[in-house]
Structure 1
């Protein structure tokens, strides 16, 4: 009798194990990192093109690339088709920052680079990658406020520029709608406990300060105080 019960128990366990294995296999079949990463970003580009740019932007190639000190970049006419009949732009996003920034801020970088794409095709681009007044005006129009500090009060034009989202503006509404419909960053970079400790120690030992006037940088401890010799303005972290 005891042997029969053991046989039945083994049979139940085997059935449970087979069910778990089927579930795991089904879950693995649903994992598709390439389409799950690029698909939502491509759909976001299309939505922003219609909502923020009136459908004026031509299709482009979207890539995920690491570039030091860059959240993203735009390169006009970067690629051609293999038969040479089509030339297309590139918008790149840096996936190294996805985890710390979150979906909406990454989408704002996409909008920032799309403003560059708009200017490339419908405006006049300054040499050397300078962010000029025309670009700044387009950013304001779509609800992204240009600022060299990423905060209110920053310079609106310059060589290295970022932005912040205007609450309730066109971008803010369009991004919220996308996220409500399920937009998400499917994959973000993993960090180990040791790497987090190293990053924290580095942040605590050195902070970048920037002059609010000319953009001059300096690095020092978090409690340092600097005055720009040219602008006579305080350097802000």
Structure 2
């Protein structure tokens, strides 16, 4: 579909920038009211295609000409089409907890998600997990989460989605790892079933435009799909004899041969592959 712009004739639907950021701001305001008592300050929401991350928070990232500053919450649009909308909202709220902690708590050093952050996540209905599934660590440098059944987040999300909320514009070229993330996500089953479905399942028009959509839909339904656009092939396996080991405490990395038993001298914890 081609959109033709004529001077002076722009309707709201003809302005993708306005529509996209208005939707994200609406979601932010809704969760701020329902989960944070309207206590969070305003921030600047951006779209960033950072590799291997659904979103991030950056404190006081932006400055105005009159000397004011504001925080940034970035969302990765490459996941939008191939991830259930409830997962996209989880990413937004996950970063809102970082914003809350920056202003009202004590953030961990660097990228570390500490106990205070984990407790706040649980309080609003998101269980922090290093694996994104039950049983994962509650704290660490690289953290995911899953929705707690019957918790405040799911209630707030369901309320938002029953108010005709939607994301209108989607990145057409998700990478293979974005599709894999969407297929593996533990989407909560809300009464609004559209929340747990991939957007490409809901809209056939969107599916016809998104690379890899037919493959993703086929895997969700358990059917083999060989027609339509295919995702990029996975990266070649690392065939070197070096393995990266990381400390879950301080985040320092070392490289060595497979099978090493490495312990951090500062944190006194084993390194993880």
The TM-score bracket by the shorter chain reads: 0.7 to 0.9
SS in 2 for 1:73: strand
Worse-matched range after superposition: 146-155 or 94-103? 94-103
Summarize the alignment of residues 207-226 of structure 1 with structure 2, pairs less than 5 Å apart. Answer: none
Which stretches in structure 2 are left out of the alignment for 5+ residues? Answer: 1-5, 174-210, 213-226, 239-244, 252-257, 264-271
**Distance 1:228-1:167 versus aligned 2 partners, 3 A rule:** farther
Paired residues in the alignment total 195
Show structure 1 runs of 5+ residues with no match. 1-24, 217-225
- 1:197 paired with 2:180, answer no
Q: Which has the larger radius of gyration?
A: 1
The structure carrying a bigger helix percent of its residues is 1
Inter-partner Cα distance in structure 2 for 1:116 and 1:124: 10
Which of 136, 140, 144 matches 2:126?
A: 144
Q: Say which of 6, 11, 20 aligns to 1:37.
A: 20
Name the TM-score, length of structure 2 as normaliser: 0.63
| Pairs within 5 Å for 1:66-215 | 66-84=49-67, 86-191=68-173, 192=211, 196-199=229-232, 201-202=233-234
Partner Cα separation in structure 1 for residue 161 and residue 35 of structure 2: 16
Q: Do the aligned partners of 2:54 and 2:79 also contact (CA within 8 Å) in 1?
A: yes
Task: Give how far 1:71 is off.
Answer: 0.5
Aligned-residue CA RMSD in angstroms?
A: 3.3
Give the whole-Å Cα distance in 2 for the aligned partners of 1:195 and 1:123: 49
Residues 31 and 152 (structure 1), Cα distance of their counterparts in 2 relative to 1, 3 Å cut: same
> Helix, strand or coil for the counterpart of 2:29?
helix
The normalised TM-score by structure 1 is 0.72
